Amino acid sequence: MSETMKAAVLYAPGDLRYEEVKIPELGENDVLVKVTACGVCGSDIPRVLTKGTYHFPTIPGHEFGGVVTELGEKVRKELLGKKVAVIPLIPCRTCKMCETGQFAQCENYDFLGSRNDGGFAEYTRVPEDNVVIVPEDVEEDAVAFLEPLSVALHVVQNCNVKYGSAVAVYGLGAIGIFIAQWAKVFGAKKVFAIDLDEKKVHIAGEMGFADAICSATEDASEIIKEKTNGLGFDYAFEAAGSGVTFNQAIMGLRSSGILGLVGRPAKSLEIKEETFEKILRGQITVKGTWSFEFVSFPHHAWELSLQALQNGSIKTSPIISHRMSLEKTYEAIRIMAERQEFFYKILIKP
């Protein structure tokens, strides 16, 4: 095998170079993953363009998977040649939060694609414990969706969505559309899928969301009021990170409703007086969620996500808008930052 590979390497904010680098060397518990697909996450835009990573140079990309092509000395032999998804979070496994299995809250974690090299590369070094074997009948590109799928699962589980409930999802990025799908899996009777982008709303409609609403052209709160007999919904999910949708989500909730927050704000948000008042009088619960879970007991979120892909209750392919080569990683990020053309999930295919 050659000693070098191609990768998109970040040297400074705005300075992402497609270049030849050394193939990473493996520790005894690592595997080498030949990346077949890596999703570009909304968080990669500020990471690559403005905020940067924790140190430079770093290879970004944290939504990825591929095929295991090499094993460290102590790794289980059966992993060789397997199709895998990669869990980008590497918890320290020694801090208090790790001791209680709350890896997403680890005080000293490593992360492939921000703190360490990630998936915008031909190969990535991954600890054995961070690969999840993907069954052969799951489509190849789905390996790039296990991360956002598990994030979405975490949000829905954290808010305890119940059978028969009415749910509204504000913001239909990958995580938003997956939250909408999980809500159905958990038995929600009505799922309002709301976005400003008409095309995303159209795709959501084609994916079976009869109550997909384009808030640029329709009055979402009026429609929802009518369809919930004036009561409002039981759960709202804010997956846009915007003040407008935060206020709308709160105002649309029934009394004692639950708002799950998952979208990351790009700037400070205004909470309107009436919204604040509604949280008080309506005794609204606002729940923050972060990252995903991957404890092996009682359920491994990534395994549950794989099962949902296998049985068809969650679909990923309708939201793939672009498949681009590794060389075009910077272009992909610019497409997302500049919003000149329609995009949904952009996959980098090294």
What Å distances lie between residue 90 and 36, 120, 139, 277, 293, CA to CA?
21, 18, 26, 41, 12
In the complex, the smallest distance separating the C-beta of residue 79 from Zn ion, rounded to whole angstroms, is: 24
Task: Give the total of residues touching Zn ion (CB under 5 A).
Answer: 7
Site for Zn ion in 40-99 (CB under 5 A): 41, 43, 91-92, 95, 98
Q: Which is nearer to Zn ion, 67 or 95 (CB)?
A: 95
Site for Zn ion in 175-204 (CB under 5 A): none
In the complex, the smallest distance separating the C-beta of residue 91 from Zn ion, rounded to whole angstroms, is: 5
Q: Which is nearer to Zn ion, 117 or 234 (CB)?
A: 117
Q: Site map for Zn ion, 241-260, x if CB under 5 A?
A: --------------------
Strands (E) across the chain are located at 4-12, 15-22, 30-39, 63-71, 83-86, 89-90, 110-111, 123-127, 131-133, 166-170, 190-195, 212-214, 233-238, 253-261, 285-288, 320-325, 345-349
Q: Which is nearer to Zn ion, 98 or 286 (CB)?
A: 98
In the complex, the smallest distance separating the C-beta of residue 99 from Zn ion, rounded to whole angstroms, is: 8
Cis preceding-peptide flag for 265 (omega within 30 of 0): no
Site for Zn ion in 106-125 (CB under 5 A): 106
Q: Does 171 bind Zn ion (CB under 5 A)?
A: no
Q: Does 269 bind Zn ion (CB under 5 A)?
A: no
Q: How far is residue 216's CA from residue 219's CA, in Å, rounded to a whole number? A: 8
What Å distances lie between residue 130 and 43, 172, 285, 295, 309, CA to CA?
21, 28, 33, 11, 19
Residues lying near Zn ion in the complex (CB under 5 A) are found at: 41, 43, 91-92, 95, 98, 106
